[in-house]
Amino acid sequence: MQKIALLKVLVLIAFILLSIIAVSNVSFAHPLATKYVTVTAKNDPGGIVEITYTYGGVTYGPFNTSTIETIKIPEGASVTFTAIPDNGFGFYGWNYTFEPYSMITSSTKFTFSTSQTLTFNDVTTSITAIAFFPVKLTIIDPAIWDYITTSHEYYISFVGGVAFANNNSLVPPSLVSQNSFTLNVEVQPVGSSTVVSGSVSLKYSGSVLYYANKELFTVYDPNGLEMKYAYITWQSPKPWLYESGTIWSANDWAWGISVTIEPGESKVSWTLPFQNLNFQLQGVVESPPSSTSVYFPAGSSPSFYDTPLSGYVFTEWYMLEISNVRSNVEYTSSSNPWTFNLPSNSFAQAYNGPWFKLYPIVVQTSVTFDVSAPIWADGETVSLTLTFPNGTKQTQTQTLTSANILFSYAVATFKWKGIPVGSYSWNITPVLTYTSLYGTANASANPSSGYFTLSSGNNGTFEQGITYLGHTYTVTFTETGLPNGITWWAKLGSVTEQATTPNPIVFTGIPQDTTLSYSVMPSYTSGGTKYQTSQASGTISVGTQNVTQQISYSTYYEVNVFFIPNYGFSNPQTVWVPAGGYQTFELTPEEDYYIAQPYSSSITAPSGISINYNSITKTTSGNTYVYNVLTQVNAPGNITVYLTWFNFIDYISERGLPSGQSWSFVIYQNGQKQSTNIVYGSPVSIKEPGFDYTTNSYYIYNITFPVIQAGSIYYVPSSISTSAIDVLSKTSNSVTFEITGNTENNTNIITVNYVPYYAVTINAGQGGSVSWSLVSGYVYGSSSGTVSAGQNQTVYVTWGTKLQLTDNPNSGYAFTSWSFTGFVQPARGYSANNNPIDIVDTGGTGSVTANYKYTTYLKFTVSTNALSVIGFTITLSNGQSQSGNTLTQPTVTFYLPPGTYNWQISPTSVTFYNRVVKYVYVAVPSSGSVTTNATVSINYVPSSSTFNYTWTESGLPSGTQWGVSVNGNNYYTTSSSLTETFSAGQTYSWSVINPTDYSGSPASGSFSGPGSQTITFTQTSFQYTWYESGLPSGTKWGVTVNGQSYYTTGTSLTETFATGQTYTWGVINPSGYSGTPSTGSFSNTGSQTITFYKGLSVTASANPTSGTQPLTVTYSASGSGGSGSYYFTLYVDGNPVGNTVGPSASATIQYTFSQAGTYSTYIEIQDAKTGNTANSQTITITVQAPPNTYSLTFTESGLPSTNPVTGQPVTWTVTVNGQSQTAQAGQSITFTGLSGTVSWSVQSPITVPVNKYYSNKYYANPSSGTASSSETISITYST
């Protein structure tokens, strides 16, 4: 029994040992061997190890690991370990030791090897080898794009997910964060062998790598880029776990598109989604800065969201597409957020665009309440309380002030700006008590409270008109008999008003039960017409209704009687005759005068005054006659009576004028000019009365003979001879006389004698003035004078007259000689070179001119050691030139105005031959720039003793003049290089001549032989100019530039600014003016015109302002300020009606109020050029229904309030007896002034869209009917 148990135990032990061997994966690879060693291979995840060994010429294996593999091999065998990485993993290296795996501790020393295969020969000890397989990464869904700005900065952006290479599953964020990733980019311009490169470290978000809008370098090629290459490298802090190196590369990618966002009064958020990665780029742009450029991949669809600042509302987006190869394109959208699809374009378009600018359009919130009240409420206060969306309240109190006394209103305005969007309520002082010129009255606010909402739907703007209406009446004065277009007046109580006929005069605001005295314009006179009334004053009582007082005017005409000559009188002389009335005039001529027959020729009157010639009677009173003349008067006018009396005759002749020459004389009677007479030939006869019966004295006559100009000769009266007249006084050109009883029957002869005076023109020339004076003879006019430089004066003299002339040269000039033309020459003993000089006129016209030369000069001396004479020509930049030679005329001198001149010599080189030997001589210098009063030395020297020196510039705009000064000689050019020739053997110093606003570097230098120098110019400053139009001369205006203010009273303003920055400017408006544009910016030379307009205002009137329906009202409006040209629009209860009129300075608008009610109206004007607007005062129109009429009111329910497709309100229409009215859904419609039985109908059906594909039709119930009295009819719509 014990033996059997022991056997079972041995069997059990053997089974357990075999199991342990199997579990521990220990192989007995060579059971015949007598001694073994163990070899162990271990792999980390990512690959396996293959073990083979060779013993006795036989190779065993392979033995593959799963995680660890141990085998026994005979001593002396050769063993090989081979690392085989899985797909997506790499091989890093081995750690191996000559210890069994079971003996390894933390202090075990390992040897590291990077060889993928390890081989050990003649193994006698255990070996443990551990292989490391780091993970390989790749980039999935990569998106890379780049962009070159117009200034050639190169931007790059990238987004991609990090994934394991073996199965593309995303790497955990913890793994990404332990590594660093670098995007490397290489580009090569077309046709260039140069590769430009840059790199950027990528950011991570979860398992996604990205970087947006990174500037890498600056690159430019007009033909584009080629051979683009990009790759991503990564580094790991644990190389035995993760492989480092390149994980992605590409040689092409999307081109980027620039979107410049200008947020203004907003914050703009943008996102760019990457759907496959469940990731999006995002950013925020807000001011400052004023704009930010974001680069998106071509063909992508970024989304933009606008968040306005507090007090602003978003209205729409404005996107501008800009391109160098086609016109700009504009896009707008009211969607917020807005997804915009960018175009797809290749790299070849990068320099031409397109690129985009994005602007969110926001407006500041504004709430305005316009309050009007009767004019007598001027000075009273009203308060308005505004309740905000959060429940807080703000109250403003305003004082009513007279807006325009012509329209009898006091007004006030309440304003809130920049308040939050949302729903508001308001209320105002409900009742206003005021004292008018006619008593105390109350006025109630209409409306007195209300609600409104500020949102983007109304652009954040709300306006409300409020009118205080009182229980008062009007007194209207009308007139008949006055002409249209005149101003007439009426006074009621202590108030005076006026109007233009035929308009009535209206007094408003009169309390009931008031009796007032009145007066009106008693008469009006216009020319010879007078309008007069017998109702010039009275009293008017006002009860409980309006009062109209008509004033009637009668017409009178003024009639005057005139005598020709004025030797008679009339009774009456002047009289006012009623229109159509009769008047008799008693006409009495003075002694020795009478009215000749026929009377129709001697007594005349204009149309409208009828003379009964057959009824004229004549009586005698002493030596006079008395005539009675009957007239009927239907127009104003003058009756002219022509008297008859004997006349005297004067015969007037001339001597000394050329045959056929016209001449003239002026006759004065008793000091009054009577006639001017132009005469051809001689003599001429003149009839004149002799005796003045009004003064009982003889007439005194004066005849004056003016100077006669015939071409360049003046004929001047020298004496007058007379006969048969009583001469009172006489001069060389006039005679004063009277015709007495001794001469009345004689022939009166007057003769005038003329002497010729010849024109002598004195020309002073540009170099100085000329003084002259009379020596002998006669001058017509002043006998001396001075002629200014560059001017001339014509002096008229007789034959043989001598004048003395003295020339007075100006600085820089010297007198040379006088020159003469015509009949002017030096007097005896004088020559043309004398100064002063006496000149003489030899019997005709002529001139004398002073000649000068400049005292400032330029002298050129030319020399040479050549064996032959060299001829040369010096040419200046003003076109002057002189020639000389090196033998007889080596020096040439120019006399010139002061200044700096460019010069050049020709020829610049000459060639001689002496016994077949060629000699070349070169002019040094051959050109340059020099200032007056200088001498330039030029030497023709052998060409072998000269050299060229060249200056080259960079940095200047094409065509800019620049230069250098070398040893005092200036040289200029407008090209990019300047080459001059110099004599050898000396050292030359030079300095740069800078153009305006530029500085060259280096600024100076020296040279002694051929060579070159590059000068780099940099701009230091520039000028910017603003021009104004529209301001009165001398008005002060200005601009503010980056906080600095500049002013002027001229029409332009020019300032100098430093380069290298952008300047922002705003206009400084004079009082009462507004400039357009008002702001701008600049960064270089330029200009801007600002147009100023006066402040905009409008006045309006309406006639009538009350009456019975239908009431047609005529509005007259005129604008002022602004451009002077306006559009006029009538608003009724806040809504525009009718057609807009204009553009014009004033306008008349008619509108018919078809329904009874009280309407608040005003006229809006819009400046035709600037778009600015202004409103007139509110005019209240009261329309009353006719008596014995009724009204119908229709209400509606069932219609939707808004069209969901267009966003516009839904409307409905009611027609009564052919007249239609339309209202918004939910609003009622009222017809007034109805009588009898009327028929009505309602619009049905009404189609309202549900969406852009489907609509509903709404039917009215009831849809028609009749009515004969006032009632309210309810209309219900249903589908």
pLDDT in tens, 56-76: 899 999 999 888 999 999 999
Residue 48 pLDDT greater than 90, yes or no? yes
106 pLDDT tier (thresholds 50, 70, 90): confident
Instruction: Name the one residue in this structure whose structure tokens are 């040893």.
Output: 967
For residue 272, what pLDDT is reported?
92
Give 692's pLDDT tier (boundaries 50, 70, 90): low
* Listed residue (1110, 1106, 1137, 1135) closest to 1219, CA to CA: 1110
Can you tell me whether residue 18 is helix, strand or coil?
helix
In whole angstroms, give the CA distance from residue 248 to residue 294.
25
pLDDT band at 19 (very low <50, low <70, confident <90, very high): very low
Rounded percentage of the chain residues whose pLDDT exceeds 90: 46
pLDDT tens per residue across span 272-287? 988 678 888 999 999 8
* Topology classification of domain 648-756: Immunoglobulin-like (2.60.40)
- 30-44, 195-209, 793-807, 847-861: which has the minimum mean pLDDT? 30-44
Q: Which tokens go with 921?
A: 């001589």
Give me the sign of the Cα torsion angle 676, 677, 683, 685.
negative
User: Which residue bears the tokens 């007004």?
Assistant: 411
Write the CB contacts of 611 (distance below 8 Å, at least 6 apart in sequence).
599, 600, 603, 605, 629, 630, 631, 639
Closest listed residue to residue 1050, CA positions, set 1071, 1066, 1029: 1029
pLDDT in tens, 1092-1121: 888 888 999 999 999 888 899 999 999 988
Q: Tell me the pLDDT band of 668, cut-offs 50, 70 and 90.
A: confident
- β-bridge partners, 445: 468
Q: Which two tokens stand for residue 906?
A: 């020709």
For the segment 35-58, the average pLDDT, to the nearest whole number, is: 90
The CATH code for residues 18-132 is 2.60.40
Q: Which of 704-713, 770-779, 797-806 has the lowest mean pLDDT?
A: 704-713
Distance of CA 506 to the CA centre of its chain: 46
Mean pLDDT over residues 1025-1034, rounded?
90
pLDDT at 119 over 80: yes
Does residue 858 contact residue 894 with C-beta atoms inside 8 Å? yes
**For the segment 542-590, what is each residue's pLDDT rounded down to a tens digit?**
888 899 999 999 999 999 999 988 888 999 999 999 999 999 999 998 8
For range 1126-1146, the mean pLDDT: 90
Q: How far apart are CA 703 and CA 666, in angstroms?
A: 6
Q: Please tell me the least confidently modeled range out of 405-409, 894-898, 953-957, 1109-1113.
A: 405-409
The arithmetic mean of pLDDT across residues 151-172, rounded, is: 83
Nearest to 531 by CA among 549, 552, 554: 554
358 forms beta bridges with: 261, 319
Q: Residue 2 above 50 pLDDT?
A: no
Q: What does each C-alpha distance from 497 to 375, 443, 486, 507 come to in angstroms?
A: 14, 23, 14, 8
Is the pLDDT at 237 greater than 70, yes or no? yes
Q: Is 315 helix (H, G, I), strand (E, B) or coil?
A: strand
Of the pLDDT bands very low, low, confident and very high (cuts 50, 70, 90), residue 833 is very high
Contact in structure between 510 and 475 (CB atoms under 8 Å): yes
Widest CA span in the chain? 210
How high is the pLDDT of residue 239?
75
> Where do the structural domains in the chain lie, given as residue ranges?
18-132, 137-252, 259-271+284-363, 365-470, 474-554, 560-642, 648-756, 778-854, 857-1019, 1020-1184, 1190-1278
Q: Reduced to 3 states, what is the DSSP secondary structure of residue 705?
A: coil
Which residues make beta-bridge pairs with 79? 53, 120
Q: What's the confidence (pLDDT) of residue 120?
A: 95
Residue 271's Cβ-side half-sphere holds a number of Cα atoms within 13 Å equal to 13
CB 256, CB 297: distance < 8 Å: yes
**Which region among 15-29, 837-851, 925-939 has the lowest average model confidence (pLDDT)?**
15-29
| For residue 27, pLDDT beyond 80 | no
Instruction: Report yes or no: 1046 and 1055 within 8 Å, Cβ to Cβ.
Output: yes
> Which residues neighbour 1007 within 8 Å (Cβ) at sequence distance 6 or greater?
949, 987, 988, 990, 1013
Category of 59 on φ-ψ map: left (φ > 0), alpha (ψ -120 to 50) or beta? beta
Fold match flag (18-132 vs 474-554) = yes
What is the structure's pLDDT at 739? 66
Give me the architecture of the 1020-1184 domain, per CATH. Answer: Sandwich (2.60)
- 657/671 Cα distance (integer angstroms): 28
What are the phi and psi torsion angles at 415 (to 5°)? -135, 140
For 641-666, how does the pLDDT look when each residue is reduced to its tens digit (9 = 90+)?
A: 988 665 566 788 888 888 888 888 89
Of 325-334, 492-501, 910-919, the least confident:
910-919
SS3 state at 22 = helix
pLDDT in tens, 972-1029: 899 999 988 888 878 889 999 998 888 899 999 999 888 889 999 988 888 899 999 8
What CATH class does 474-554 carry? mainly beta
Task: Give pLDDT, residue 786.
Answer: 94
Which of the four pLDDT bands, split at 50, 70 and 90, describes residue 23? very low
Q: What is the CATH number of domain 365-470?
A: 2.60.40
pLDDT at residue 1228 is higher than 50: yes
Q: What is the pLDDT of residue 7?
A: 39
Average pLDDT on 318-333 reads: 88
Half-sphere exposure of 162 (CA within 13 A, CB side): 29
DSSP-assigned letter for residue 1185: P
**Which residues contact residue 3 at a Cβ distance below 8 angstroms, ignoring those fewer than 6 apart?**
none
Q: Mention every residue, 6+ apart, whose C-beta is less than 8 A from residue 267.
A: 284, 285, 286, 306, 307, 309
Q: Which two tokens stand for residue 1057?
A: 């600014």
State residue 8's pLDDT score: 36
In this model, does residue 530 exceed pLDDT 70?
Answer: yes
Residue 794: half-sphere exposure toward Cβ, Cα within 13 Å: 10
| CA pseudo-torsion sign 87, 89, 90, 95 | negative
Band of pLDDT at residue 457, cut at 50, 70 and 90 = confident
- Write down the mean pLDDT value for the chain: 86
CA distances in angstroms from 1021 to 1017, 1018, 1052, 1085, listed in the order given: 12, 9, 19, 9
Q: How far is CA 1211 from CA 978, 1208, 1248, in A?
A: 81, 9, 10
**Cα first-last separation, the chain:** 108
Selecting from 1.10.10, 1.20.120, 2.60.40, 3.30.1490, what CATH number does the domain 1190-1278 have? 2.60.40
Q: Is there a contact between 517 and 493 (Cβ–Cβ < 8 Å)?
A: yes
pLDDT (tens digit per residue) in 1162-1195: 999 998 887 788 899 999 999 988 888 898 999 9
- The mean pLDDT value for 451-476 works out to 88
Could you list the beta-strand ranges (E) of 827-933: 837-854, 857-864, 871-876, 881-885, 891-895, 900-906, 909-914, 917-924, 927-931
In 925-1010, where do the E strands start and end?
A: 927-931, 934-942, 946-954, 962-966, 969-973, 977-983, 988-993, 998-1001, 1004-1007
Count of beta carbons in the 10 Å neighbourhood of residue 1252: 8
Cα distances (angstroms) measured from residue 831 to each of 820, 826, 845: 11, 6, 20
| Band (347; pLDDT cuts 50, 70, 90) | low
pLDDT tens, residue by residue, 619-639: 877 667 899 999 999 999 999
919-926 average pLDDT score: 88
The Cβ of residue 377 has, within 10 Å, a number of other Cβ atoms equal to 29
Cβ atoms of 593 and 693 within 8 Å: the answer is: yes
Question: Smallest Cα–Cα separation from 618: which of 605, 629, 610, 627?
Answer: 627
Chain centre distance of CA 164? 61
CATH of domain 137-252: 2.60.40
Q: 725-761, pLDDT tens digit by residue? A: 678 888 888 988 876 544 444 567 889 999 999 999 9
What pLDDT, on a 0 to 100 scale, did the predictor assign at position 223? 65
Residue 550's pLDDT is 94
Q: What is the pLDDT of residue 12?
A: 39
Flag whether pLDDT at 6 surpasses 60. no
* pLDDT value at residue 21: 37
